[in-house]
Amino acid sequence: MLQLRDGQGQAPAIHRADYQAPAWWIDTVDLTFDLDPAKTRVLNKMRLRRNPEVLAQPLRLDGEELNLARVMVNGGGTSFKMDGNQLVLENLPEGNEPFDLEIFTTCAPAKNTQLMGLYVSQGTFFTQCEAEGFRRITYFLDRPDVMASYTVTLRADKALYPVLLSNGNLVDSGALEDGRHFAKWVDPHKKPCYLFALVAGKLVAREQLIKSRSGTSHLLQVYVRPGDLGKTEHAMNSLMHSVAWDEARFGLPLDLERFMIVATSDFNMGAMENKGLNIFNTKYVLASEATATDTDFSNIESVVGHEYFHNWTGNRVTCRDWFQLSLKEGLTVFRDQEFSQDMAGSPSARAVKRIEDVRVLRTAQFPEDAGPMAHPVRPDSYVEINNFYTVTIYEKGAEVVRMQHNLVGREGFAKGMKLYFDRHDGHAVTCDDFVQAIADANPGSPLAQHLPQFKRWYSQAGTPRVRATGRYDAATRSYALTLSQSCAPTPGQSEKLPFVIPVELGLLDAATGAALPLQLADDSAAQAGATPTSRVVVLTEASQTLTFTHLDSEPVPSLLRDFSAPVVLDIDTTDAQLLTLLAHDADAFNRWEAGQRLALRIAINAIADNAQQTSANGHFDHKILPAEFVEAMRAVLRHPALDAAFKELVLTLPSETYIAEQLDVVDPQRIHAVREAMREQLALSLQADWEWAWEQNEDTGGYRPDPVSSGRRALSGLALHMLCIAAQRTGDVVWPGKAYQRFKVAGNMTDRFNALTALVASGCELAAPALARFHALFKDEPLVIDKWFALQAGAPDRGGNVLPTVRQLLQHPDFSIKNPNRARSVIFSYCSANPGAFHRADAAGYVFWSDRVIELDAINPQVAARLARALDRWKKLAEPWRTAAREAIARVAAREGLSNDVREVVTRALAD
């Protein structure tokens, strides 16, 4: 169907300000599917009525790629017309009485490569309706504020599709003629159509009966393909923990008799929270110690939690419109982060999780916030909603909820959540409604005091910068700390107003590293009891000064503890002060942060220092790391009390992407060379310490994916990696041999894959036989083969060898661009996760990128548009990369017939 376009072929933008309540309500939906891969018949019987609060309008139903066979009103014929993709009915019964509308359509699931709507994956039917996929199943008011009661009948061949699932409860099932059968499902809860789902195929389930606190029992099921049942235990455990956690922490029980998870290997994203019938990418369900790493295990726990927690935050209370997406996603990410922290248990394991989350925010969201796709947590407009499932909506949105949590306290937040559900259960609401509930439940809190200003976090894009300067005055024994905030312009927003920024802080004694009592000059509360050593100050002005008293010497400031706000902190800490923080800060996050700042400073200086040139073989001739830094790293590595997981985080240098974000002009090759040189020096200078760390952590006993043993595996993996890097430089063959041996005999995938990574990334000769052996061992395990592809596409570049390897991988019999996981494992691993190999001076990486964006767009626009974002930050690149990148983007933009998805991304990238 032809769509209305403006001059550039761009579909029109949709604006938040244009929101209007629907002119019609759909109260009930009765769907009957005759499932057939080539041609599925869908009979849709709806009961509708006018919305008396809205001016009368024709009924406009959304539909996409449907064949319309019949439309009936109250059992008789009716007139209708098509307007673009919409079915328009103008002669509907007058008055406010409900009437019946029956629509009969067909669609072709086997041809659906977009994986939106109804599609077939390995002979099984699946649906994906969020955000606007339901219109690819039937004509409907495809918007989240239209909530209806669903009855669904599925009919299909019994031999091919023995399992027939939809939302809610199974109320009837039985045999039909010609070897077919049926199942009828009724969802007891009203829902928006984006939460509709069906699954039909040959599946088996792991089952678990559970009892809630109130004594009701529920059936939990995890459905997979028959061979995969043995890999569902961890997902089921994660689900049971999720149910118990939401009841314990927020008083939110499971509201269904039956809760199902189904896994599919063809999925655009991670998973989907369809009411009572979550559909998951296999990557976030299937795990065994032989095939999944510790990271996979922990991702499964958090994604299972995430989708389950949506049952309340998203499904019971949903979004009024898609501009409110962060209402459910930011809040649900916050909840899954809290869940993972509570599961991790110890304070140090919680800090490790916090550091990992912040690392994602900084390496993915901060660049987004500074680039052409920057948008507020609650956007004002979009062309294609699929492009707004972003790290800003999810991760920054979670930080905005976390700030609310911290401003009202843990108990206060629980009260706020309760009020939110008391007010809005069963409704489609806005981000404003959420903050209002949290504030109203906590009158007098800093959130309530600064509510209108706090909401700027939802309306203003961009990462604020907080500049901190301290001045010690020996005469008055006081320390004046000035905090100033600013935020750079983002596309469409030139002026920014001050944010409400909670800054958790402490002061350390410079000589001993001891925590100092925080006595504020104008603080009456502190006089009453013991002075705290950590507190939260709320920055609301453009600039504020705090004066701490009773200090005998200049303290070391520890600011933004636990990353209390999603901002960039600029502070002129000396190296000595950072070393004190690294060694002594009571806040684990800032301890890690001090090490990262030291490394970042060294990297940036080396990048800028023209005297430090790389020699012909790409190596730096000079040592980059000062002795104090190496010694500090040694001290952390050898520390008797610190957890292995924390050590691994401290000893991992900031990523190339994060380093690039600190620079105004980016030479990706120089960043890569400097970081590699730093790593090599760490490998060589700490060789004995790495050997010690390897020996200490090499054996973690029987496999359990708990924080302590997975931390030890992470550290031994890093040690092995470093020892192989050192060996490559010194010509030693012992460690590569040990790594190969480890690779061969490892009892779990974490150790095995770490060893393989060490071999591949250090470029040693054993890498090729190891890769061949790995493939042979796991050729029947698609998720492991994804790792095999990703490792090669993400390997360090040696004289431009990665791109030819990637091209070969595309020809491998196991490669298929139609499978999103596989496409990501090769193409994204190269274009988005391997800057040193991708940013080639000859522009061949960019040409490859533009070819793949165009190729993918014809198959799956959603996945293509994600790939299209790999060059978001092209304007920062130095020449010749900058011009080459612009040309590659322009080449994509010049294509006719691009999807809205890719068109929006490249148009924004080229805008000035």
Spatial distance between the Cα atoms of 629 and 635, rounded to a whole number of angstroms: 10
325 near ligand TRP (CB under 6 A): no
Q: Work out how close the CB of 328 gets to ligand TRP at its nearest, in angstroms, rounded to a whole number.
A: 7
666 binds, among ligand TRP, Zn ion, none (CB under 5 to 8 A by kind): none
From the list ligand TRP, Zn ion, none, partner contacted by residue 128 (C-beta under 5 to 8 A by kind): ligand TRP
Q: Where are the alpha helices (DSSP H) in 386-476?
A: 391, 397-424, 431-440, 446-449, 451-454, 456-459
CB of 394 to ligand TRP, least distance (A): 7
Residue 30 or 273 having the CB closest to ligand TRP = 273
331 forms part of the interface with ligand TRP (CB under 6 A): no
* Residues near 473 by beta carbon (within 8 Å), at least 6 away in sequence: 479, 480
| Among ligand TRP, Zn ion, none, partner that 271 touches (CB below 5 to 8 angstroms by kind) | ligand TRP
Sign of the Cα torsion 735, 738, 743, 746 reads negative
Helix (H, G, I), strand (E, B) or coil at 430: coil
C-alpha–C-alpha distance, residues 655 and 363, integer Å: 8
* Under rule CB under 6 A, residue 131 binds ligand TRP: yes
Report the residue number, 330 or 595, with the smaller CB distance to ligand TRP.
330
Our CB check for ligand TRP shows the closer of 222 and 269 to be: 269
Taking the least distance from each CB to ligand TRP, the nearer of 397 and 705 is 397
Q: Least distance from C-beta 272 to Zn ion, angstroms?
A: 8
**Under the criterion CB under 6 A, does residue 904 sit at the interface with ligand TRP?**
no
**Residue in 307, 329, 648, 656 annotated catalytic:** 307
Q: For residue 128, state whether it binds ligand TRP (rule: CB under 6 A).
A: yes
Residue nearest to ligand TRP (CB): 269
Taking CB within 5 to 8 Å according to partner kind, which of ligand TRP, Zn ion, none is near residue 269? ligand TRP
In whole angstroms, the minimum distance from the beta carbon of 394 to Zn ion comes to 7
Can you tell me which of 269, 393, 537, 565 binds ligand TRP, judged by CB under 6 A? 269
Mark whether 648 is an active-site residue: no
Q: Which of 389, 589, 629, 789 binds ligand TRP (CB under 6 A)?
A: 389
CB burial of residue 631 (10 Å; 0-12, 13-18, 19+): middle
Query: If you ran DSSP here, which 8-state letter would residue 383 be given?
Result: S
What is the total count of residues that contact ligand TRP (CB under 6 A)? 13
User: Would you call 221 helix, strand, or coil by DSSP?
Assistant: strand
Among 30, 62, 142, 307, binds ligand TRP (CB under 6 A): 307
The two three-digit tokens of residue 561, written as one number: 């503890």
Tell me if residue 894 falls in helix, strand or coil. coil
CA 155, chain centre distance (Å) = 36
Ramachandran region of residue 123, left (φ > 0), alpha (ψ -120 to 50) or beta? left
Compute how many other C-beta atoms are within 10 angstroms of the C-beta atom of residue 687: 17
- Rounded least distance, CB 384 to Zn ion, Å: 18
> What 3-state class would DSSP assign to 380?
coil
Closest CA to 144 of 271, 272, 314, 29: 314
**Contacts to Zn ion from residues 322-361, by CB under 5 A:** 329, 332
User: Both tokens of residue 108?
Assistant: 């072709």
Q: Under the criterion CB under 6 A, does residue 284 sit at the interface with ligand TRP?
A: no
Applying CB under 6 A, the span of 97-105, 166-174, 266-274, 521-529 interacting with ligand TRP comes to 266-274
The two structure tokens encoding residue 707:
């924080």
Q: What is d(CA 819, CA 119) in angstroms, rounded to the nearest whole number?
A: 13
Query: Is 272 among the residues that bind ligand TRP (CB under 6 A)?
Result: yes
The H helix count followed by the E strand count for the chain is 32, 34
Site for Zn ion in 393-452 (CB under 5 A): none
Residues with Cβ within 8 Å of 554's Cβ and at least 6 positions away in sequence, in order, are 470, 472, 479, 510
Regarding 263 and contact with ligand TRP (CB under 6 A), the answer is: no
Q: With left for phi above 0 and alpha for psi between -120 and 50, is residue 345 left, alpha or beta? A: left
CA distance 472 to 475: 9
* Cβ proximity to ligand TRP, 131 vs 677, nearer residue: 131
CB of 698 vs Zn ion, minimal distance in Å: 38
Residue 713 near residue 707 (C-beta atoms within 8 A): no
Residue whose tokens read 């609401």: 429
The site string for ligand TRP over 85-124 (x = CB under 6 A, - otherwise) reads ----------------------------------------
Q: Are 544 and 522 in contact (CB under 8 A)?
A: no
Q: Which of 271, 518, 853, 877 binds ligand TRP (CB under 6 A)?
A: 271
> CB of residue 261 vs ligand TRP: minimum separation in angstroms?
12
How many residues are there in the chain? Answer: 912
Closest distance of CB 708 from Zn ion, Å: 29
Residue 386 as a binder of ligand TRP (CB under 6 A): the answer is yes
Binding positions for ligand TRP, rule: CB under 6 A = 128, 130-131, 268-269, 271-273, 306-307, 329, 386, 389
Which residues are catalytic, by number?
A: 307
Contact residues for Zn ion, defined by CB under 5 A: 329, 332
